[in-house]
Chains A and B, each alone.
Chain A
Amino acid sequence: MTATGIGASVRRKEDFRFVTGKGRYTDDVNRPGQAHAYFVRSPHAHATINKIDATEALKTKGVLAVLTGDDIAADKVGGLICGWMIHSKDGSPMKAGAHPALAQGKVRYVGDHVAVVIAETYAIARDAGEKVVVDYTVLPANADTASAAKPGAPVVHDVAPDNMVYDWKLGDKDATDAAFAKAKHVTKLEIVNNRLVPNPMEPRAAVGDYDEGNESFTLYTTSQNPHVARLVLSAFIGIAPEHKLRVIAPDVGGGFGSKIFIYAEETICVWAAKKVRRPVKWTSDRTEAFLSDAHGRDHVTHAELALDEAGKILGLRVKTIANLGAYLSTFSSSVPTYLYAPLLSGQYNIPAIYAEVDGVYTNTTPVDAYRGAGRPEATFVVERLMEVAAREIGRDPADFRRQNFVTQFPHQTPVIMCYDGGDYPKSLDKALELADYASIGKRKAESARKGLLRGIGISAYIEACGIAPSAAVGSLGAGVGLWESAEVRVNPVGTVEILTGSHSHGQGHETTFAQLVSDRLGISIDNVAIVHGDTDKVQMGMGTYGSRSGAVGMSAIVKALDKIEAKAKKVAGHVLEASPDDIEFKNGKFSVKGTDKEIDFASVALQAYIAHKFNGQELEPGLKESAFYDPTNFTFPAGVHICELEIDPQTGVVAIDKWTAVDDFGNLINPMIVEGQVHGGIAQGIGQALFEGAVYNKDGQLLTASYMDYQMPRAGDLLSYDIAVTNTPCPSNPLGIKGCGEAGAIAAPPAVVNALTDALGHEDVPMPATPQTLWRAAQRAVTKAAAQ
């Protein structure tokens, strides 16, 4: 391992600009003559729009335009799309209600886009926005997941009169019923997976620009996948053909899924730029972000686990209602289906699994992928069931898990996935040791002496990431392929530019990708530049989500580097007067096997461009290669997280005392960055378990629309985590790496809730387990204990 190669905790190349305030985020972009947009949003969850009167607004000095759904329709701007087709049990396609970028006749959630005011300044636009008079007829709202599709519930879209987007299933119902029929013990759980708001610290923003001379558009936007944005804006929404639309996602301040999607606001900014012949800028404020960024999770689930007399799992049955909100966001339909149910086997041998998922419309903000996307929900179901089942049958939760672990690979689950490798007992053993699991009894007794309730909770998670083999996801309904592209441009002096379709918004690609190149080509990391986030520079890409940038994005770079090496060997062969087959490449030097003749990489690059030493008709000059990499499987990171905590039963306040994480991410490129990803994931997972929850009232008003009511995890709420890794290299990609970005958020919630319920004498608690919730549960636990 070199100091900057694979496996080294190289300090990040991008940090100088970030710590000096020189990062360039979308809101930092200002175009000459730029105007500002303010969105008039629906204050009602559900209403018909009778009339929009912009007369007064248009009279305001500095207002350039007020545009509504009528203008969208007149310009034939296409609706926002959902790019993953899900079929119901009867084979019928999901029911996708129209999703115009500005409402047409009806609003379906608080925050829905009614009109846009474009003015010289944001203040003027906002002042004028308040003068846009909208005449609504308010309709009853449908805002509750569990009852959204019950008879009589208000209908959100006419295409789905029962509010069912789909009723979907996965697995073998008959086999699962048979497994339950012979079970000695069945554990049953009612689970609510709470709705979350992603909250990257950078609010979304967009600047649309139209070049009249070239009849071309440029959109600067806070996107995790600018090429997908370009594709959707071109092919579906119809702003401009791809060669006339450039999408730039500069520095992006966190995404966590919420910046995957193509939203109304950026669509309007780029469309309106041509209408008003001025660049148009919009930056979300935080309350708008709460209302309009796609939310995450929001499941109501009934789950059952069947065991035999020895504690072996026989089957798993799950019925989930998934709230998809008022419209189908870009990838929403896939999240509670193919990103969820295929993970229900967890780390365990489960012979039969059957899952049903009802996707429902409600008058709430659209729900889509948020860090983990489906996999946290699946892991929560599995790991809560495992914990509760162990307690019910009087087994140690760790031993019960170990008994049911998958130990042979490859392992085909009954729900699509084929696990290609792992060592689950090893991670468990290591975690139990680091957590000092054996002496928890002593620590519980110490807490009890202080009047406090101590608990410990295990979560043995698996996830499928590095998405995904294109043909496989295509067969499941995906509208796109999930490969990645890379281009390696070697300059004549031997410096290298890597153009990648992955996008970094905190993950440190400029460093890890450069490490890969430095390692492979034997050149200084300072001589490698990573170029991403601009569709005019990078030809194509699928972006960053589903922990895919390493496993898929870097694999594409490896593939392009293979081509570079092959071509460079030919050049070196000519220079060294040897056959390319006799050329070896090691530590940045090309040499002739068995001789001391060698030439370094930079010199070969120069020779490739000078082209004096070879026949340009037989070997093309230059050194530039590109590759598209389509993965052959998902990657399957897995691990064990253990949470230990203490509850003050007098107040319900909980303090997490110790967090142990042992993760198997395969080979690591940059351990420092991997650890950082785990830290952030755990924090979001703890946030889901203890702090965060979007709450709607029955009228569909979001009661948690700012940080005054939505509790973001703060430094003082959290702790320093004990992190360790195990390594079974991933067999399906050339680097042997697995995704690490989502693991913490997937693993953490059940670890916390298992610890809470352990402390509370097995009293169940909903997430987020706020002090009030825990106080009440503690009272019940104390009462129950006294009665026994």
Chain B
Amino acid sequence: MYEFTYHRPGSVSEAAKLAGEHADGKILAGGQTLLPTMKQRLAGPSDLIDLSRLDDLRGIEVKGGVVTIKALTRHVTVATSADVKAAIPALAELAGMIGDPAVRNKGTIGGSVANNDPAADYPSACLALGATITTNKRAIKADDFFKGLFETALEEGEIITSISFPVPEKANYQKFRNPASRYALVGVFVAKTGGHVRVAVTGAGSRGVFRVKDFEAALDANFAPAALDGKSVAASGLNSDIHADAEYRAHLITVMAKRAVAAAA
């Protein structure tokens, strides 16, 4: 790691102030992506603002058909939460598929969403469930939040405080893991909320998580795997790497989407 100045603020406002003051700084939540990146010297923030003392950013609440998960809630907590399992089982299952048990014991939902890694799992849930990301400044619709690879609508000094997921009628997440890294090679989150279907894909897109409107329309008409017969995402906008080329990813998106629909239905 490169040298950095370490801060451990005691409140969100203090953290936001520090983040605003140090433009080249980074916010440390669970650190499960940031610290490996820093260790490999792929990131060298001037300052590290450690949120670990902000205990009021932990917790899960289900109220009025909405699951609200505070930003520092760990993946393990979401995966094992009886409330989440009851309200949105697909979300708990997704949390239980992130990384490995030790990573889930540290990694947080806020950190994952703020980082917007193109192969992370949570962004697909946010998009498909129509989540709202709340920060210390405002509330942002998921559709407006994810802006591309590692890019979000967050501004300097803006810190995610919670994420709210409307409870869907049906939902499922199917993840095809990169065989080496175990990040999503293709992850497809399908949700039917208020009678309307959303399909979000992570891991595959060259510009990060995206929705498949074509699939959504077909599933709106008929929420069954067969509705996706013959449908596919164009390979042109998808990633190619040593593990999977764009054509294979495109194929997997349809397969995973059908499996998600079958599991949700």
Question: Taking beta carbons and an 8 Å cutoff, which residues of A are in contact with B?
Answer: 123, 127, 287, 650-652, 691, 695, 703-704, 707-712, 770-772, 775-776
Contact = CB atoms under 8 A, between A and B. Distances in A.
Contact of A772 (B2, B3, B248, B255): B248
B168 to A, nearest CB: 25
Interface in B1-55: 1-3, 40
A529 to B, nearest CB: 37
16 contacts: A287-B40, A650-B255, A651-B176, A651-B252, A651-B255, A691-B180, A695-B242, A704-B242, A708-B180, A708-B181, A709-B181, A709-B243, A770-B179, A771-B179, A772-B243, A776-B248
A707 B181 CA distance: 6
B255 A711 contact: no
Contact of B179 (A650, A703, A711): A711
Contacts of A707: 180-181
A772 to B, nearest CB: 5
B180 A710 contact: yes
A479 B196 CA distance: 75
A770 B255 contact: no
A576 B1 CA distance: 72
A123 B4 CA distance: 13
Contacts of B181: 707-709
A770 B243 contact: yes
B244 interface: yes
A82 B261 CA distance: 59
A708 B251 CA distance: 23
B245 interface: yes
A551 B251 CA distance: 52
Contacts of A776: 248
A188 B34 CA distance: 51
Nearest to A773: B248
A278 to B, nearest CB: 24
Nearest to A123: B1
Contacts of A712: 180
B180 A711 contact: yes
A775 B255 CA distance: 12
Given A287-B40, A651-B252, A772-B248, A709 B242 contact: yes
Nearest to A650: B255
Majority secondary structure of chain A interface residues (helix, strand, loop or mixed): loop
Contacts of B242: 695, 703-704, 709
Contacts of A695: 242
Sorted from nearest, which 4 A-B pairs have the closest CB atoms? A711-B180, A708-B181, A711-B179, A772-B248
Interface residues of B, number: 16
B104 to A, nearest CB: 15
Interface in B208-265: 242-245, 248, 251-252, 255
Contacts of A127: 2-3
A770 B2 CA distance: 36
B248 A775 contact: yes
Contacts of B251: 775
Interface centre among B40, B180, B244, B248 (most CB of A within 10 A): B180
Interface centre among B1, B181, B245 (most CB of A within 10 A): B181
A708 B176 CA distance: 15
Given A651-B176, A771-B176, A775-B248, 20 more contacts: A123-B1, A287-B40, A650-B255, A651-B252, A651-B255, A652-B248, A691-B180, A695-B242, A704-B180, A704-B242, A707-B180, A708-B181, A709-B180, A709-B181, A711-B180, A770-B179, A771-B179, A772-B243, A775-B251, A776-B248
Interface centre among A287, A711, A712 (most CB of B within 10 A): A711
Contacts of B176: 651, 771
A652 B248 CA distance: 10
Nearest to B186: A651
Nearest to A130: B41
Contacts of A287: 40
Interface in B81-134: none
A765 to B, nearest CB: 15
Contacts of B243: 709, 770, 772
A650 B176 CA distance: 12
B120 to A, nearest CB: 14
A489 to B, nearest CB: 45
A761 B210 CA distance: 37
Interface centre among A287, A652, A710, A772 (most CB of B within 10 A): A772
A776 B242 CA distance: 15
Contacts of B179: 691, 711, 770-771
Nearest to A707: B180
A123 B40 CA distance: 12
A710 B243 CA distance: 10
B245 A772 contact: yes
A776 B244 CA distance: 11
Contacts of A704: 180, 242
A144 to B, nearest CB: 15
Contacts of B40: 287
Contacts of A652: 248
B178 to A, nearest CB: 8
Nearest to A648: B255
A287 B40 CA distance: 9
Contacts of A771: 176, 179, 244
A673 to B, nearest CB: 29
A650 B248 CA distance: 10
Contacts of A651: 176, 252, 255
Contacts of B1: 123
Contacts of B252: 651
Nearest to B1: A123
A624 B105 CA distance: 56
A195 to B, nearest CB: 13
A704 B245 CA distance: 16
A123 B1 CA distance: 8
Nearest to B181: A708
B262 to A, nearest CB: 12
Contacts of A775: 248, 251
Contacts of A772: 243-245, 248
B142 to A, nearest CB: 27
A296 to B, nearest CB: 18
Contacts of B248: 652, 772, 775-776
Nearest to A768: B179
Interface centre among B40, B179, B251, B252 (most CB of A within 10 A): B179
Contacts of A711: 179-180
A732 B252 CA distance: 55
A774 to B, nearest CB: 11
Contacts of A650: 255
A712 B182 CA distance: 11
Contacts of B180: 691, 704, 707-712
B248 to A, nearest CB: 5
B232 to A, nearest CB: 13
Nearest to B251: A775
A686 to B, nearest CB: 13
